[in-house]
Structure 1
Amino acid sequence: MKTFVTGGTGFVGSALIRRLLADGHEVRALVRPGANTRMLEGLPVERVSGGLGDAPALEKAMSGCGWVFHVAALYAYWGYTWDEFHQSNVEGTRRVLEAATRAGARRIVHTSSIASLGIPRDGAPGTEETPVTFKDMLSDYKRSKFLAEEVAQEFVAKGLPVVIVNPAAPVGVGDHKPTQTGKMIVDFLNGRMPAYVDTGLTIVDVDDVANGHLLAMEIGKVGERYILGGENLSLKQVLDLLSDVSGRPPVRARIPRAVALAWAYVDTSLARLNPKHIPAATPDAVRVSSKKEYFSSGKAMRELGYAYIPAREALRKAVEWYRANGYVP
């Protein structure tokens, strides 16, 4: 029995593929034409060319696969329209699950995100049950992931065995794009982060996230969601840990949020005038940072046996990978 993976060329998807192969699974990966396949090089993976918009190709690619991991998603704060997010993350999920239904997949894991979850007003860590509405979503990415989960639940109601996982902010080996969190680490290592905004996030090693996907596939309850997180840390704590593990000087200056928001508007205006300019922050990103995104992995730990390594170790692995792969001079 083969296992089908979308998003296998990405950060989380490639980590998942490495874990599946280590456990002896045969893997078939959907590879978008033109995608960077760096993280699949040398791996015994069957590659199938296609995209989330090609329903017949998806069904053909899933033929003979008992497990389906839908990891692929458009993740960005800049450079994409709402229609692009909707087509990729919402309609793409619908097409994958339709194809899985027709292909007779036995189990499906849909990779969502903590971005689609609610954040308690009292500062406590969010859980899978924290109340949330579409109006709480502060960016196009968040809105698209929220709606994608609704699509997944529609298919659960029709009898498709879908389990949902909500990874936090993964770091570690293979973040080649890099992600938003990875870009922050690279900027820190290159001395391009003179100040920070007061916010918080849940740091988790990408290999722990990959393991959580496998646990969800094996024993997760259909229709349930599981947060795959790690340590909840303020951004200042993350930067201090990065300083400790890298030997780089710490970041001491904090930017008031109002100043950061004003600069984000200026920076994005410059980017609209010059397509080659990528803003350091967008208004959406600053608004998202107004809430500390702390989450509890308690449910996954209790029901799946999920575990995670300390944030210090996860960040150390990330720093070593970036240094070894040319991201730091």
Structure 2
Amino acid sequence: MTITESQYKLPQGSRALVTGATGFTGSVLVKKLVNQGIEVVAIARPSSNIESFEGMPIKWFRGDVFDEELINKAIEGVNYIFHMVTPFREAKSPDIGYYNVHVLSTQLLAKAALKQPDFRRFVHVSTIGVHGHVDNPPGDENCPLKPGDVYQSSKLQGEQWIKEFGAQQGLPVAIVRPAGIYGPGEKRLLKIYKWVAKKRVPVIGNGGNLLHFIHVDDLTDFFIVTAIHPKAVGEVFICGSKQAMTFKDMVALIGDYYGVSPQFLKVPAAPVFAIGDLFELMFRPLGIEPPIYRRRLAFYTKDRSFNTSKMRNILDFTPAHSDEDGLKELAQWYVDNGWISLKKS
């Protein structure tokens, strides 16, 4: 199965609104829907690059996703909403930006959806980050909610609002909390792959913290499932692979694929977090991205491990991609696209 094909399909003749359409995950979903013959409407910032969608029958609305007038125009005749837009996660971003995108836009879209005569499902995309560090892994959808920053807090606020609104107003809502998203085209993990290729990997602690992933192909399939399955309404689902892996196991897997044996460069946690806090305090008021900050460091220290059986038990959905195969696929994509150069021994 290629990244733009799917066995899961919306009904023919459907009209779907996608927010965050130009992002990594959004672009994969949009292309799947277009290939299915679905009429796609997308909201994108004026600065967003839509060149990769050239020639596709997509109706674009350019502007802010929290612009009420824009939303009212875009939502006409829509049957499905896939709401996954998010501000680019930078420490320099102002807090109000997160609120507007994660909360205000959700409220405006949900209220507008109620006015559509044939509206069928609102798929709201949150994050496993709302759980923070999982004290007794694996967690599940009901484990404590402990957002650790404004990004996660505003995500949780938007999620909680629409769940309550949907129940009160009869709006069919399904909420998805994706694990760490990866796949060809994603570059958030590029730095780690580069470290492995260079055989030196900084690690905080012993590298035993748990990471949970989901391939973008599986995640976008799951979005479609939650849009069409009757049992998804009113539910919250964590979408992740069968089980988590440790950071050091991830490094070993990549190293094995690249044919190298990377060494860990151990860094003590307390001083690094203190430096990260100091940098964020200094740089954020100036609108400058700090070289390191707490949220980025959390990837190397927090346990994010979940029991993902709910999506299988209720919606009969099982990811098609194993992390082992998927992370190796990404390793090769980085090489093929010139992001990583492997030196011959």
Which TM-score band (shorter chain)?
0.7 to 0.9
Q: Which of 208, 212, 226 is 1:202 aligned to?
A: 212
Q: Does 1:144 align with 2:171?
A: no
Report if the CA contact (8 A) 1:189-1:328 is conserved: no
* Residues 313 and 252 of structure 1, relative CA distance in 2, 3 Å threshold: same
CA distance in 2, matches of 1:312, 1:323: 17
- Name the SS for the 1:146 alignment partner: helix
Q: Does 1:263 align with 2:275?
A: yes
- Name the SS for the 2:160 alignment partner: helix
Q: Does 1:113 align with 2:124?
A: no
Partner in structure 1 of residue 259 of structure 2: 247
Of 100-109 and 206-215, more deviation after overlay is shown by 100-109
CA distance in 2, matches of 1:27, 1:267: 42
CA distance in 1, matches of 2:300, 2:25: 22
Question: Counterpart amino acid of 2:121?
Answer: R
The number of residues matched between the two structures is 320
Residue 78 of structure 1 and its aligned partner are, at CA, apart by 1.2
What are structure 1's unaligned runs of at least 5 residues?
none
Partner in structure 1 of residue 6 of structure 2: none
What are structure 2's unaligned runs of at least 5 residues?
1-13
1:292-315 per-position Cα deviation (integer Å, ceiling 9, x unaligned): 011121101112222221112111
CA distance in 2, matches of 1:325, 1:275: 31
* Residues 40 and 251 of structure 1, relative CA distance in 2, 3 Å threshold: farther
Q: Which of 95, 98, 102 is 2:108 aligned to?
A: 95
Equivalent pairs: percent with the same residue?
27
- Name the SS for the 1:252 alignment partner: strand
1:123-157 per-position Cα deviation (integer Å, ceiling 9, x unaligned): x211111132xxx2211111111101112113212
Q: Which of 302, 325, 344 is 1:313 aligned to?
A: 325
Question: Counterpart amino acid of 1:224?
Answer: E
* Residues 87 and 273 of structure 1, relative CA distance in 2, 3 Å threshold: closer
CA distance in 2, matches of 1:282, 1:173: 26
Partner in structure 2 of residue 154 of structure 1: 164
Partner in structure 1 of residue 297 of structure 2: 286
Larger radius of gyration: 2
Of 78-87 and 206-215, more deviation after overlay is shown by 78-87
1:1-36 per-position Cα deviation (integer Å, ceiling 9, x unaligned): 211111110011111122223333222211211112
* Residues 247 and 25 of structure 1, relative CA distance in 2, 3 Å threshold: farther
CA distance in 1, matches of 2:254, 2:102: 32
* Residues 265 and 88 of structure 1, relative CA distance in 2, 3 Å threshold: same
Residue 100 of structure 1 and its aligned partner are, at CA, apart by 1.7
* Residues 52 and 272 of structure 1, relative CA distance in 2, 3 Å threshold: closer
Question: Counterpart amino acid of 1:320?
Answer: Q
Report if the CA contact (8 A) 1:186-1:327 is conserved: no
CA distance in 2, matches of 1:275, 1:325: 31
Q: Which of 3, 26, 47 is 2:60 aligned to?
A: 47
CA distance in 2, matches of 1:57, 1:265: 38
TM-score (norm 1): 0.87
CA distance in 2, matches of 1:84, 1:274: 16
